[in-house]
Structure 1
Amino acid sequence: MDLGEFEVYRIDSYGYDETPKTIAPKSRNFIVFKPRNAIEVSKILKFANERKIPVFVRGGGTGLSAGAVPTLDGILISTERMKEIEIDVRNRLAICEAGVTLDELTKAAEKHGLSFPPKPGAENATVGGIIATNAGGVRAMKFGVIRNYVLGLEVVLPDGRIMKFGGKTIKNSAGYPLLQLFIGSEGTLGVITKAIIRLLPQLRDMSMLAIPFRNIEDAMEYSIETCRKLTPLGLEYMEKRAVEIGESVSGKRWVSKEGEAHILSIFEHKWEAEESAEIAYSCNAIDVFLASPKEQRDLLDIRSKIYLGIKNRIIEILDICVPPASILEYLRKSDEIARKYGIDVITYGHVGDGNLHQHPLIFEGWERVYWNFRREIMRLAVEMDGTISGEHGIGEIKRDELAELFPEQYGIMRKIKEIFDPNGILNPGKIFK
């Protein structure tokens, strides 16, 4: 292969993602390739594999687990030029390349009265990235996660082979579902270059409630009862400090200054919101606010700006997921662990599906105690039949805990990695040491 046929870059900003700087690994020397299609990706990988050169893959750089950080000298493939998208209206599908952003996919689908239901937080995240991490988001409890919408993939393997898995059908019982191996694989098995994605009819209207509670016990009881009787699009929990941070960054005002625990409830139908309001009052809600369309946008903006307002003050963002009915128990026990180590934690998250985002704040000398705190928190989640990452992935910063807490599964995953990537060139250091 003649490297001269490609434009090669050295772009320092590609050496990091959204992982907090306190915990993010440092990038090494790397050159950036920006291929335009699977054929060009194939040439790059074949060249690298023959010479055992590490290859890292980057989408929108929105990851929170250092999954795209090039931590060894090598090559970084950016999918930003891979932008082709086709909407198959009659089959209700999107066929798009890996560099298409979530925002571009959403707008393309909406032009045809269709929608891509999952709502991962970053609109500039790419299709390849959200598939590689099996991203979730606000609507996961009703519509599922990315895995539920990927019907087919085009993947380039480390040796340069271009493979297709799945197709345009929802049903497929033809052998092992190899497609599923690549969803959530974080670029360690192959480079995703194209996806066939299932779409749904566009949502016509949404109803949204903002509900303040005096304490977290009442808020969690409301969440459990609402999910028992209804199926919301999403239930978002925010402690009071998180709301205040979102307000300060967005410039918008929350509906109530009262309450220590706040729930943002999102429904597809107004009757669901009305019934949920009755549940809220039965769970001692201070009040229930039905948001107008403009207020809905403001409330979601406040929610989306929390991380932006806090990211320079935190050690990292923990991505624990536990059974929804166990959230209150988990929060009580994790608070005890935090107090033991003198760590202040700000929490919000998707309580409808049990996925919490906990933000331990930086303090002097945190390095001496934080890792023990983190290990106890993750072990607690696993002991409660949960997991150490609900949607952000393992990347480089959670691989030790994955190996420690899921040793048998980790061993199987490593064997799968060796089958697809025997030279270990793809995203080295991610998921595996």
Structure 2
Amino acid sequence: MAAVVALDSLIAALPPGMVVTDPDILAAYRQDRAQDPDAGTPLALIRPTTTEQVQTAVRWCAENRVPMITRGAGTSLSGGSTAVDGAVTISTEKMRELTIDTATRTAVVQPGLFNAEVKAAAAAHDLWYPPDPSSFEICSIGGNVATNAGGLCCVKYGVTTDYVLGLQVVLADGRAVRVGGKQLKDSAGLPLTKLFVGSEGLLGIITEVTLRLLPPQAPACTVVGSFASVTDASEAVLAITSKIRPAMLEFMDSVSINAVEDMLRMGLDRQAGALLVAQSDAPGPAGAAEVAIIRQAFEAHGAADVFDTDDPQEGEAFTAARRAAIPAVEKIGSLLLEDVGVPLPQLPALIGGVADIAADNDVMISVIAHAGDGNTHPLIVFDPDNADEAARAQVAFGQIMDLAISLGGTITGEHGVGRLKKAWLPNQVGPDVMELTALIKNALDPQGLLNPGVIL
């Protein structure tokens, strides 16, 4: 009964309709893109529009010891915004203000804006926001910051943290703090901005982000090659990255090639074992030299039908094909989505090892990758209604992470640990780092109310 009275006080403290208890609406906020079958049901959903409203919600939760789940657009692939029974879900989807400062080349953004919307706003001022997850049209900036998201161009231009200059964060006790700002250089105190980027809502709720913008990307030349095997393609990747850093270097295996062709009908080679899509945006003779290096690497490793184009529409068609790989493969069956990365010399071993895991467990695993930085996305396809197949898929899921760790890699390059991968985190980072992580968490959130079940 006390919880109901306390919830009434929260409803009274916020604008009408901001606190939602309708069971049908709450059901839609139970799961995120990871589709965690163990998702709980929120006590309530709160959709604030301002930092002050977030503070009100957080203070109420702190006073009543109610856990808080922070949710952006719900595109998390690691269960980072999965609902928890008895917890309040705070969705930042309605926090959508944005301003562009051309003098400092920065954007001040609330977390609910989509990545694509920030790109478009920057482009309207002849500027560019580089980080570009495949889900850029539907994922939010808040989620990107929380997971330190990457994307296709990150091999050359870096990931989200490289563009976050400042943050406003609501702490577990309801205080709002600002870290960083519009200045490009700042060595005052500890680098707290970097601490919050990638923290998956464990340390605070991000309510404003100051992003660094760049001049527009130069026109790119796209090089495409089809390979007989994934091994040949991964060896070609190493031949390229040992000499240059392309603007993009993406990998698709035969399963994803055929799935994308089924969906887009763009004439991809269905017989290919793998496809590489590379881009150079270096100007003039430097760009021509990079294209020559890419072509030579493709051809030296047996690629057929190598071609290059400086036509933007042709180049974008292949980029769109790579972005479509996950939804295309998902049409085959339910997915367990991996996000493992390794040092580049270990890329062939990782891809080969995933193939062995698929054979050993008799499951289909499609591999797509941001190959230029060693970040792969093995997609385990299974039928959730087939208990034996679902169990084998789960075994493969864990074995892939074990393989990445054994190769000196990581269980997540850009999706975050979330709830689905935290059992493997200690094996990667070790007990001392886990203890340090817990110390930081306890210092900022002594009641353990922020995103319980994530990472720790």
| TM-based fold match above 0.5 | yes
Matched, 1:69 2:82: yes
Q: What secondary structure sits across from 1:308 in the alignment?
A: helix
Once the two structures are superposed, residues 36-80 of structure 1 have per-residue CA deviations (whole angstroms, 9 ceiling, x without a partner) of: 111110011001111111111111111111111112222111112
Which residue is equivalent to 1:16?
31
Q: Which moved more, 1:161-170 or 1:25-34?
A: 25-34
Count of paired positions = 429
Select which of 11, 18, 37 maps to 1:3. Answer: 11
After the TM superposition, list the runs of 4 or more consecutive aligned residues in structure 1 that deviate by more than 6 angstroms.
none
Which residue is equivalent to 2:314?
295
AA matched with 1:18: R
AA matched with 1:426: L
Which residue is equivalent to 2:323?
304
Once the two structures are superposed, residues 141-160 of structure 1 have per-residue CA deviations (whole angstroms, 9 ceiling, x without a partner) of: 10111011101000000111
Q: Which moved more, 1:421-430 or 1:375-384?
A: 375-384
Matched, 1:286 2:304: yes
Which residue is equivalent to 1:274?
292
8 Å CA contact 2:119–2:129 kept in 1: the answer is: yes
Any unmatched runs of 5+ in structure 2? 1-8
Residue 196 (structure 1) shift: 0.7
Matched, 1:374 2:397: yes
Matched, 1:348 2:356: no
Which residue is equivalent to 2:253?
239
CA distance in 1, matches of 2:334, 2:262: 17
Which residue is equivalent to 1:226?
240
Q: What secondary structure sits across from 1:287 in the alignment?
A: strand
Select which of 421, 432, 436 maps to 1:412. Answer: 436
Which residue is equivalent to 1:320?
340
8 Å CA contact 1:54–1:72 kept in 2: the answer is: no
Matched, 1:133 2:133: no
Residue 358 (structure 1) shift: 0.5
Identity across aligned pairs (percent)? 31
Which residue is equivalent to 1:335?
355
CA distance in 1, matches of 2:432, 2:392: 28
CA distance in 2, matches of 1:233, 1:400: 34
* TM norm structure 1: 0.95
Residue 320 (structure 1) shift: 0.6
Residue 404 (structure 1) shift: 4.0
Change (3 A) 1:2 1:358: closer
* TM norm structure 2: 0.90
8 Å CA contact 1:344–1:360 kept in 2: the answer is: yes
CA distance in 2, matches of 1:139, 1:164: 29
Residue 334 (structure 1) shift: 2.8
CA distance in 2, matches of 1:347, 1:323: 17
CA distance in 2, matches of 1:343, 1:85: 45
Instruction: Map 1:80-159; keep pairs closer than 5 Å.
Output: 80-122=93-135, 123-159=137-173
AA matched with 1:430: V
CA distance in 1, matches of 2:293, 2:147: 35
Residue 259 (structure 1) shift: 2.2
Once the two structures are superposed, residues 337-363 of structure 1 have per-residue CA deviations (whole angstroms, 9 ceiling, x without a partner) of: 332222221111111100111112215
Matched, 1:263 2:283: no
CA distance in 2, matches of 1:55, 1:376: 32
8 Å CA contact 1:239–1:348 kept in 2: the answer is: yes
Matched, 1:27 2:46: no
CA distance in 1, matches of 2:295, 2:121: 35
8 Å CA contact 1:281–1:287 kept in 2: the answer is: no
8 Å CA contact 2:339–2:377 kept in 1: the answer is: yes
Provide the alpha-carbon RMSD of the alignment. Answer: 1.7
Q: Which moved more, 1:51-60 or 1:212-221?
A: 212-221
CA distance in 2, matches of 1:370, 1:405: 21
Matched, 1:393 2:416: yes
Choose between structure 1 and 2 for higher RCO, CA contacts under 8 A separated by at least 6 residues.
1
Q: What secondary structure sits across from 1:225 in the alignment?
A: helix
